[in-house]
Structure 1
Amino acid sequence: MGDEFRADLLEKQYHEGCPGCLVDKTKEVRRGYPYAELSFIWVIILTTSLPISSLYPFLYYMIQDFGVAKTEQEIGYYAGFIACAFMLGRALTSVLWGVMSDRYGRKPIILLGTITIAVFNALFGMSTNIWMAIATRFMLGSFNCLLGTIKAYAMEIFREEYQATAMSAVSTAWGIGLIIGPALGGFLSQPAEKYPSVFTKASFFGRFPYALPCFTISAFALVVTAICCFIPETLHNHELDNKTSDDDSVEALEAASLETAGMTGNNKRTSLFKNWPLMSSILVYCVLCLHDTAYSEIFALWANSPSKFGGLGYSTNHVGTVLTISGFGLFSFQVLLYPAAERLLGPVLLTRLAGALMIPVQMSYTFIAHLSGIPRSLLLTVASIFVNVFSVSAITGMLILQNRAVDQHQRGAANGLAMTSMSLFKTVAPVVSGFLFSWSEERQNASFLPGPQMLFFFLNVIVILAVCLTFRPFLVTAARRR
């Protein structure tokens, strides 16, 4: 009974007026599936993921309308700069938002994030030149403080047995957002051309052909802002170690608690950079996210590009349809199968398996392009479902490891660090993908990996690297933390 008993007593101490203690107390007595909490996580993650990928179906045509590309082959270069502006802005500010959420709470940072999405995404939709598009995307990324904060929030609002489900919900909603976003961008862009009976060329959405999908996402963000006013705060507003007391038993309980957490009074604020279980999982996570972003851009550009360049020649509607169906497949897997798969295999083994299975599926894309009609559409949709399922499953495993590697007082900063690192990788991904896409269109008759074959070879190299990094001695896992 010694140390474990004393630590258990300390864990059950609740402080009057502390929102974090209120949440912990509610978790102690609550039973049943946490539907409400999962719903909050879902809508918030959807809000932050929709603007990231909604531009991909129409980015090709937006660059054409700006008139900056002298040839079709140059479109990929400029598309990369617009896509990476968001990630650069997020990379510069994510640690700041993580520290702010640790200091001032998760809820105010979440509210700030949803409001700024509504503002800057609407402004992006009204861009009239490439510089305005880059500037608004950069501001959108700079104030994108939701993903890191909500990952910390998800680990704190759920009981331990539902934390894998929580991380799965984060990844699933993120993946669905990256599917629904392009669908909205595909179906709602250029409405005056697609739906002339509803929108005329002289109307607002006729003069700003890419504003409708952006305004739709901004309206959703405003609704989510109103919903977030009612979510509970999870951060504790008290510090046990700062309280003065002559009671030796209290000091003993505090010492026992710190020992249980793997800390002492001198290293309670251990540098995150010295936490190798955290840092190794972040690095694997970054490589997986590099692939995720590169795949999203390459797939959309390849599907939109003409068949003479090895593409599919799909319209924005067609690309949107494929990605929407993929989203339903991803949703079904993550909700119904992922939690059980994670319990059976563990996050590390599941990440390795997902990465290994992704490789042959991506290799199949260039062969699918040689087909036509229904067989091509069917196989393309199935392959898209598999790639998205495997990619999100691998990323989810790393999210679980990251949040298990730190305690609550560092969780916001840790997720902010992960967001900054990931955003730096995602800043590089669109630029490299854009250059690689333009280069591939110029080498259709090359003897080694001609045309789009080079694109999917590049994606597979990234996946192989990520899988290799999941083995020891590089990746180290940590025990569960509070």
Structure 2
Amino acid sequence: MAVDTSESAATSEVTPLLIPSQSDGGSYTQPENNKINHYDEDAPMPTMQIVMLCYVRMVEPIAFFSIFPFTNQMLLNTGNVSQEDVGFYSGWIESTFSLTQMLLMISWGRASDLYGRKPVLVFFLAGVTIATTLFGLPKTVWQMILFRCVAGIFAGTIATVRAMISENMTRKTQALTFSWFAFTAFTGTFLGPLVGGVLANPAEQYPSVFGGFQFFINYPYALATIGTVFSH
């Protein structure tokens, strides 16, 4: 069977699926050598830059999952919620983080294009750190929901981190780079609930160490949220 070797038939895995035809007034120009970006293909991976970006990627799942082990107990003990309503309010508290994150993700991406990647990421780290810490202090359900919304607002920069990752890799290093990116995300998923569960209600869990601290008796989940911040 004859094989068409003409230039118009040449394709690769980086050839766009839809290429505007000249009859449609399209102005598409095939990139030279089908390169996916303009970076030097033989350039080494900027290890320190990638490590720092992966670290930022780990912060979001730690902040998200750290409250899961103690949210129900927190609602019963300090939120003045009946046992029948714990599941309802727990769902609201845990989902508002993702809701606000979803609603503001595109806006954070635009902000990073307008004001720069680094200022947005620094603002994100400061905001999510403060909001996560404050979640251990509320005494009402609505305060809990409010602080989770605030944390979700600052967690919407995941798109910015992905953009910076893609800007610091080549085709030869993209598989390794995104492997580290995924590895740190799952590391955060592992560390979040572990830290939250170990440090929740320390005055009762570790009375010989924290039993004499009135602050941790009044705010039994403050150490868990503070520990979450220090874990990232």
TM-aligned CA deviation for residue 5 of structure 1: 5.6
TM-aligned CA deviation for residue 164 of structure 1: 2.3
- Size of the aligned set, in residue pairs, is 204
Name the residue aligned to 1:372. none
Name the residue aligned to 2:58. 46
Identity of matched residues, % = 28
Structure 1 length-normalised TM: 0.39
| Structure 2: runs of 5+ lacking an equivalent | 1-28
The one-letter amino acid paired with 1:104 is Y
Name the residue aligned to 1:164. 175
TM-aligned CA deviation for residue 169 of structure 1: 2.2
Name the residue aligned to 2:10. none
TM-aligned CA deviation for residue 180 of structure 1: 0.6
Are the equivalent residues in 1 in contact too, given 2:41–2:171 (CA < 8 A)?
A: no
Name the residue aligned to 1:187. 198
Are the equivalent residues in 2 in contact too, given 1:42–1:169 (CA < 8 A)?
A: yes
1:92 corresponds to which of 100, 103, 126: 103
* Residues in 1 aligned to 2:30 and 2:191: alpha-carbon distance in whole angstroms: 50
The one-letter amino acid paired with 2:101 is R
1:25-104 → structure 2 map (5 Å cutoff):
30-31=43-44, 34-71=46-83, 73-104=84-115
Q: Secondary structure at the match of 1:57?
A: coil
Name the residue aligned to 2:207. 196
Name the residue aligned to 2:7. none
Return closer, same or farther for 1:207/1:117 CA change in 2, 3 Å cut-off.
Answer: same
Q: What is the CA deviation profile of residues 196-222 of structure 1, one whole-angstrom value per residue up to 9, with x for unaligned ones? A: 11112543222211111211232355x
* Residues in 1 aligned to 2:181 and 2:127: alpha-carbon distance in whole angstroms: 20
Structure 1 runs of 4+ with >6 Å offset: none
Structure 2 length-normalised TM: 0.78
Q: Secondary structure at the match of 1:197?
A: helix
1:91-130 → structure 2 map (5 Å cutoff):
91-130=102-141
Q: What is the CA deviation profile of residues 311-363 of structure 1, one whole-angstrom value per residue up to 9, with x for unaligned ones? A: xxxxxxxxxxxxxxxxxxxxxxxxxxxxxxxxxxxxxxxxxxxxxxxxxxxxx
The one-letter amino acid paired with 2:118 is K
Q: Secondary structure at the match of 2:69?
A: helix
Are the equivalent residues in 1 in contact too, given 2:201–2:221 (CA < 8 A)?
A: yes
Are the equivalent residues in 2 in contact too, given 1:48–1:114 (CA < 8 A)?
A: no
Return closer, same or farther for 1:199/1:37 CA change in 2, 3 Å cut-off.
Answer: same
Q: What is the CA deviation profile of residues 215-243 of structure 1, one whole-angstrom value per residue up to 9, with x for unaligned ones? A: 1232355xxxxxxxxxxxxxxxxxxxxxx
Q: Secondary structure at the match of 1:125?
A: coil
Q: What is the CA deviation profile of residues 12-36 of structure 1, one whole-angstrom value per residue up to 9, with x for unaligned ones? A: xxxxxxxxxxxx5xx56633x5532
2:160 corresponds to which of 149, 152, 160: 149
Name the residue aligned to 1:177. 188
Are the equivalent residues in 2 in contact too, given 1:48–1:146 (CA < 8 A)?
A: no
Are the equivalent residues in 2 in contact too, given 1:45–1:173 (CA < 8 A)?
A: yes
TM-aligned CA deviation for residue 116 of structure 1: 0.5
1:33-432 → structure 2 map (5 Å cutoff):
34-71=46-83, 73-200=84-211, 202-220=213-231
Return closer, same or farther for 1:4/1:106 CA change in 2, 3 Å cut-off.
Answer: closer
Q: What is the CA deviation profile of residues 427-454 of structure 1, one whole-angstrom value per residue up to 9, with x for unaligned ones? A: xxxxxxxxxxxxxxxxxxxxxxxxxxxx
Are the equivalent residues in 1 in contact too, given 2:128–2:155 (CA < 8 A)?
A: yes
TM-aligned CA deviation for residue 7 of structure 1: 9.3
Q: What is the CA deviation profile of residues 341-389 of structure 1, one whole-angstrom value per residue up to 9, with x for unaligned ones? A: xxxxxxxxxxxxxxxxxxxxxxxxxxxxxxxxxxxxxxxxxxxxxxxxx
Name the residue aligned to 1:383. none
Question: Which structure features the higher share of helix residues?
Answer: 1
* Residues in 1 aligned to 2:105 and 2:31: alpha-carbon distance in whole angstroms: 37
Q: What is the CA deviation profile of residues 43-96 of structure 1, one whole-angstrom value per residue up to 9, with x for unaligned ones? A: 11111221100001111211111354323x432111001111212221221111
* Residues in 2 aligned to 1:115 and 1:53: alpha-carbon distance in whole angstroms: 18
The one-letter amino acid paired with 2:227 is T
The one-letter amino acid paired with 2:81 is A
Are the equivalent residues in 2 in contact too, given 1:58–1:189 (CA < 8 A)?
A: yes
TM-aligned CA deviation for residue 165 of structure 1: 2.4
Q: CA RMSD in A?
A: 2.6
